[in-house]
Chain A
Amino acid sequence: MNLEEHVDLYERTDVVNSLLARYGVKFGIYKNNTFHEQLFPFDAIPRVITKEEFAFLEKGLKQRVDTLNLFLKDIYNEKKILKDKIIPEEFIYASSGYLPQCEGIIPPEGVYSHISGIDLVLGRDGVWYILEDNLRVPSGASYPMIARELCRRSSPKTFHDISIADNRTYADLLKKTLEHVNTGGLTVVMTPGRYNAAYFEHSYLAERMHVPLVTCNDLTVEDDHLYFKDYSGKRELVGAVYRRISDEYMDPMNFNPESVIGVPHIFDIYRKGNVALINAPGNRIADDKGIYYFVPRMIRYYLGEEPILSNAPTYLPYYEEDMKYVLEHLDSLVLKDVAEAGGYGVVFGNSMSVGQKEDFIALLKKEPRRFIAQEVIDFCGLPIFTKEGQPERKADLRAFVLSGEKTVVWKSGLTRFSRNPDSFIVNSSQGGGFKDTWVLNQ
């Protein structure tokens, strides 16, 4: 395949962007406490993944997500991995991601992470590195889905000439995943509301799956079951809730009592097995950056296999020798606060002043469990199309792994790129844009 021949695709980047605007493909952002809807800039030069490369990634991602699902089940039930001292107990119990409320619950069909968003980068050394596991409510699949639809309109020839796996099947894949765990009744998408950053995605996925989009006002718990309240007073049983709302706000009776966007008692009936919540509550423990360190060990422990995909080289200051290494190599490391997400709480050692370093080291020594340190991975950029040429921008890949009857990797993904040439941060809440991700059929 020669992408050079398909320059018309790139040249129509503007056309695709105006179509994205037409369909309201936006994300919400709060600036100075007011809500804004912002377009998510699209660049038409895709990330291309060959069939062979995808087969490799697929194998590695399935291995990782299957392991994380086993980990979650173990942690909230038998705790073998703690008893066998693979992970120190306090890394679980002292993490804000561990929810004691979830103890002893096995979700419908035993699935914890139904939709996993795994963030990877391709190092200049040609190795794919996992940066983060997102097992709570990973968002972003809708963007490449709709961008593909629009690119096919703007450059049909490209898609005629090159055989690319169709990523628009995501809605079917997702629906199947949700229905696999449905306990009987409707499948719904639950949104906190239109002022949520990912509201476009919530409504678009509901549209594409042909299922209702609901808020807490539409749902009620009665007689040990969850119901959708019809305007006429009728009620319909709900069996699966793809909830795009975090654990803390889901149920004021069991989590944050101040929440006004949750459904009282939804967690009580989930505990009884009468509804599936997707993803399962309590998954945040697996997203914990401290737990990330242990994933390769988990793979060996639960599956008896060597990890196929690599973690970025990571140090845990909790361990004395790692603390020593971190203090000696601060300048070459990136430091991450385990409690933060979305590109926040990330500091590059070499960007700190002497004073900042002293403060940081004091904090690190006081709360060693709070931080991880990683080698700065020199990862590949991707070209973006501009009228002046095709400069490179740092880019990552969020792969979507769906676990239903079996674990499936979506043949696409969200490729995000940084806004500035010298930035490594590709998170959409901090500027930057996105690309389609092609998986080639041949």
Chain B
Amino acid sequence: MKTLHFRYDLKIEFSEPVTNHSFTVKCVPDTDERQHILRQDIKILPKEFLSTNRDSFGNFYFFGKTVAEHELFHVEEEGVVETGWSDSVPANDSPGQGLCLVQTSCTEPGPYLKEFFAGLNLPPDADNREKSLWIMDKVYRSFSYQSGVTTVGTTAEDAFSQGSGVCQDYAHIMISLCRMAKIPSRYAAGMLLGEGASHAWVEIACRNKWYGLDPTNHVPVAEDHIKISHGRDYKDCLINQGVFTGNARQKQSISVQVTEI
């Protein structure tokens, strides 16, 4: 078990003032079997009304609206979490594992991933957890970390065919392969000890439990990860969504600090 302090800072700068800005922010970690939130403070500015809800995966989110003109939207968050209470979370939740077997537009395999899958030599008698560790190992060895070569819209197939990418790409590739192997798997977004940006990994279902696996770092998720949300793919875990009036370009910057105390 570890006690982690985190600071999460999301800034959206608009090139020109905008109005009627509706926003949804999904960047708040929540207590579950694996992690316990001891305290957290959140500031969202500007806002004219602010409300909270949970999405259909159970992820907590803020939503609200700012009508008045503004050039900056800022979310500041800070808190303390105990991690490593368990190695898994129960997998009897809704919508359930069946949904996590279906490929999405982000994970749909093409020829590269299909060929790679065919050459995996998965151990036939292994359980889902062992199989997915096997898959993680293969992905880690066949894909390299490089930022700036993919975007948030890059699919698993496209990322894999070019051979490198970031944590989001690792996760999508691994999910695609797990689903081909009929292992229910989902995308998880969160923070990682020592890392300055937001992080993403994979959760797979085995014996009615979700286990986290981090293919970018080739480790099972244990004490260093703080989970924010999960879903079918990246799109279910968008940190920020917004619509506004105005002809502005927006620049999003996220800075994360996780330290052990």
Contacts and interface: CB of A to CB of B under 8 A. Distances in A.
A252 interface: yes
Contacts, number: 63
Nearest to A254: B24
B63 A89 contact: no
B124 to A, nearest CB: 23
B241 A221 contact: no
B63 A268 contact: yes
A89 B99 CA distance: 8
Contact of A101 (B51, B55, B101): B55
B232 A253 contact: no
Contact of B24 (A90, A101, A105, A253): A253
B153 interface: no
Interface in B42-101: 48-49, 51, 53, 55-57, 63, 65, 94-96, 98-99, 101
Contacts of B120: none
B3 interface: no
Nearest to B99: A93
Given A79-B96, A265-B63, A271 B243 contact: no
Contacts of B95: 93, 100, 103
B102 interface: yes
B22 A102 contact: no
Of A93, A105, A224, chain B has the most CB atoms within 10 Å of the CB of A93
Of B22, B49, B57, B101, chain A has the most CB atoms within 10 Å of the CB of B22
Contact of A253 (B99, B236, B243): B243
A101 B98 contact: no
Interface of A: 77, 79, 82, 89-90, 92-94, 100-105, 221-224, 252-253, 257, 264-265, 268, 271-272
Given A103-B94, A252-B243, A264 B65 contact: yes
27 contacts: A77-B94, A79-B94, A82-B98, A89-B101, A90-B98, A90-B101, A92-B98, A93-B95, A93-B101, A100-B95, A101-B55, A103-B57, A103-B94, A103-B95, A104-B94, A105-B56, A222-B49, A252-B22, A252-B243, A253-B22, A253-B63, A253-B241, A253-B243, A257-B241, A264-B243, A265-B65, A268-B24
A100 B56 contact: yes
Contacts of B96: 79
Interface residues of B, number: 22
Given A82-B98, A252-B243, A253-B243, A101 B53 contact: no
Given A82-B98, A93-B102, A253-B24, A103 B56 contact: yes
Contacts of B99: 93, 100
A104 B93 CA distance: 11
A320 to B, nearest CB: 19
A94 B232 CA distance: 12
Contact of B102 (A90, A102, A253): A90
Nearest to A75: B95
Given A222-B65, A264-B65, A101 B56 contact: yes
B19 to A, nearest CB: 13
Of A77, A82, A89, A265, chain B has the most CB atoms within 10 Å of the CB of A265
Contacts of B49: 222-224
Of A77, A253, A264, A271, chain B has the most CB atoms within 10 Å of the CB of A264
A54 B49 CA distance: 52
B241 A89 contact: no
A222 B94 CA distance: 29
Of B24, B95, B98, chain A has the most CB atoms within 10 Å of the CB of B95
A347 B94 CA distance: 38
A101 B54 CA distance: 11
Nearest to A220: B65
A206 to B, nearest CB: 26
A272 B53 contact: yes
Contacts of A82: 98
B22 A264 contact: yes
Nearest to B21: A264
Contacts of A223: 49, 51
A268 B94 contact: no
Of B49, B63, B65, B232, chain A has the most CB atoms within 10 Å of the CB of B63
A82 B102 CA distance: 15
Contacts of B57: 100, 103
A93 B186 CA distance: 14
A285 B69 CA distance: 41
B98 A271 contact: no
Given A103-B56, A268-B63, 8 more contacts: A79-B94, A100-B99, A101-B55, A103-B95, A224-B49, A265-B63, A268-B24, A271-B53
A271 B61 CA distance: 13
A374 B24 CA distance: 45
